């Protein structure tokens, strides 16, 4: 009966606050953060598959092995040899379609699966024509704006998009010249912003969870007015929303697979992975990188120049 009695807003606020404070949220135990990715080096003309697990805290490889294929069974065997499925694990992967099933079966309820946002953004960029319209460029940046702040780019493109509608009416030759000029201006604008972030050692600002929800919801309201390929990508994001946003709910969890991408770029570069002729060469190249990360190689005490000068005859020691 007390619920029907009128209450002041302060009383309601205090009751609500007290109810929130009294709720017990079970603590999350230790969560292992792991990055998983694959690389495809060639042994002569034979395709090999490099499966890698990196520790998300130390950046060091948990496992880095070569296989003849990357089938779900091979991946499962690899995981079984190096990870504990009974331990709650936050895994970052790219958006390869078989990963949710493979990792889900291995970890069961202990899996927290984050899909790489960098890979998502690459897919979004790849959806759009290389030489598209301003309107298409605006649509692309609205999609990139879901998880990262692209407000400045969108503001510039919105102004250009209004002008584009008028330029289209002036005929193809004038429009094409205008489009080429304005695309060049916009790309320079984007480039200058990237340089500024590098100088200031800043990353692209990441959206909060609520900001991401709002940006995505706005796009979904308008989805029927978009081109078919845009609709398809938005529905893919909607389908995978849970796995694209897991990082928001685990402290210090990564949203991308940059760690393992950087590891690949230093351990087996793209041009080199096509040159190695034997499995032994590939494995040694991989091991050298792991040794470097583990500090096994140490630091060189003398530079090459200093070593050379030791053998220069009659050199004045002063």
Q: Under a CB-based contact definition with an 8 Å cutoff, are residues 83 and 64 in contact?
A: no
Spatial contact of 154 and 141, defined as CB atoms under 8 Å apart: yes
What the block records as the tokens of 29 is 């135990």
Could you tell me if 46 and 106 lie in one domain?
A: yes
Residue 128 lies in a domain: yes
In a domain, 27, yes or no: no
* pLDDT at position 266: 81
Q: 217 and 191: one domain?
A: yes
Domains of the chain: total: 2
User: Does 233 share its domain with 150?
Assistant: yes
Tokens of 203: 């990353």
Q: Has residue 9 been placed in a domain?
A: no
CA distance 257 to 117: 8
Question: What range does the domain containing 275 cover?
Answer: 32-116+257-294
SS3 113: strand
Residue 66 sits in the same domain as residue 40 = yes
Same domain, 232 and 128: yes
CATH number at residue 91: 3.30.420.10
Residues 109 and 129 in one domain: no
CB burial of 60-70 (b: ≥16 within 10 Å; e: otherwise) equals: ebbbbbeeeeb
Residue among 237, 260, 225 at smallest CA distance from 59:
260
109 and 128 fall within a common domain:
no
Q: Are residues 151 and 186 in the same domain?
A: yes
Q: Give me the pLDDT at residue 27, please.
A: 46
Q: Are residues 192 and 289 in the same domain?
A: no
Our CA angle for 75, 81, 85, nearest 5°, is: 85
pLDDT value for 107? 96
Residue 314 domain flag: no
Query: Is the domain of 138 the same as that of 232?
Result: yes
Per-residue confidence (pLDDT) for residue 174, from 0 to 100: 94
User: Mapping DSSP to helix (H, G, I), strand (E, B) and coil, where does residue 38 land?
Assistant: strand
Q: Which of 80, 35, 72, 49 is nearest to 259 (CA)?
A: 35
**What pLDDT is attached to residue 40?**
86
* Residue 22 domain-assigned (yes or no): no
Which residues fall within 8 angstroms of residue 311, CB to CB, at 6 or more apart?
A: none
Q: Is residue 185 part of a domain?
A: yes
Q: Which pLDDT score, from 0 to 100, does residue 42 have? A: 79
CA pair distance 102, 247, nearest whole angstrom: 20
Asked if residue 82 is part of any domain, the answer here is yes
- Are 92 and 128 part of one and the same domain? no
| Domain assignment present for 160 | yes
The pTM of the full predicted model, rounded to 2 decimals, is: 0.75
Per-residue pLDDT tens, the chain, 318 aa: give them.
Answer: 444 455 666 676 566 566 656 655 444 457 899 999 999 887 777 889 999 999 999 999 999 999 999 999 999 999 999 999 999 999 999 999 999 999 999 999 999 999 999 999 999 999 999 999 999 999 999 999 999 999 999 999 999 999 999 999 988 999 999 999 999 999 999 999 999 999 999 999 999 999 999 999 999 999 999 999 999 999 999 999 999 999 999 999 999 999 999 998 887 555 455 555 555 555 555 555 555 555 555 555 666 566 656 665 655 555
pLDDT value of residue 2: 47
Domain boundary among the residues 239, 273, 303 is at 239
Position 63 scores a pLDDT of 94
Alpha carbon distances (Å) from 48 to 181, 186, 265, 282, 292? 45, 41, 17, 10, 23
Residue 50 pLDDT: 94
Q: Point out the domain boundary residue: 213, 239, 265.
A: 239
Task: Please give the pLDDT value at position 6.
Answer: 58
Q: Which residue has the tokens 């619920």?
A: 3
Beta strands in the chain (DSSP E): 32-39, 42-43, 46-47, 49-55, 61-67, 89-93, 111-115
């Amino acid at each position: 009966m007390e619920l029907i009695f009128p209450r002041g807003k302060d009383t309601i606020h205090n009751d609500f606050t007290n109810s929130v404070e009294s709720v017990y949220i079970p603590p999350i135990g230790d969560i292992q953060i792991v990055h998983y990715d694959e690389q495809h080096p060639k042994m002569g003309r034979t395709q090999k598959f490099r499966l890698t697990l990196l520790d998300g805290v130390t950046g060091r490889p948990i496992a880095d092995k070569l296989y003849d294929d990357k089938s779900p069974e091979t991946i499962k065997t690899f995981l079984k040899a190096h990870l504990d499925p009974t331990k709650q694990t936050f895994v970052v992967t790219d958006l390869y379609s078989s990963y949710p099933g493979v990792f889900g079966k291995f970890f069961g309820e202990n899996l927290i699966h984050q899909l790489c946002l960098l890979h998502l953004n690459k897919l979004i960029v790849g959806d759009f024509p290389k030489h598209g319209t301003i309107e298409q460029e605006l649509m692309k940046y609205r999609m990139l704006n879901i998880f990262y702040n692209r407000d400045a780019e969108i503001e510039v493109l919105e102004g250009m998009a209004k002008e584009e509608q008028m330029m289209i009416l002036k005929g193809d030759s004038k429009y094409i010249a205008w489009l080429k000029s304005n695309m060049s201006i916009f790309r320079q604008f984007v480039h200058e912003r990237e340089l500024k972030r590098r100088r200031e050692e800043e990353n692209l600002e990441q959206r909060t969870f609520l900001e991401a929800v709002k940006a995505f919801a706005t796009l979904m309201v308008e989805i029927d007015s978009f081109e078919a390929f845009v609709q398809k990508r938005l529905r893919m994001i909607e389908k995978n929303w849970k796995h694209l946003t897991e990082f928001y709910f685990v402290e210090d969890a990564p949203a991308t697979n940059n760690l393992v991408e950087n590891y690949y770029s230093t351990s087996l570069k793209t041009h080199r992975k096509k040159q190695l002729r034997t499995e032994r060469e590939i494995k040694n190249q991989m091991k050298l990188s792991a040794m470097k990360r583990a500090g096994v190689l140490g630091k060189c005490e003398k530079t090459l120049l200093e070593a050379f000068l030791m053998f220069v005859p009659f050199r004045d020691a002063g």
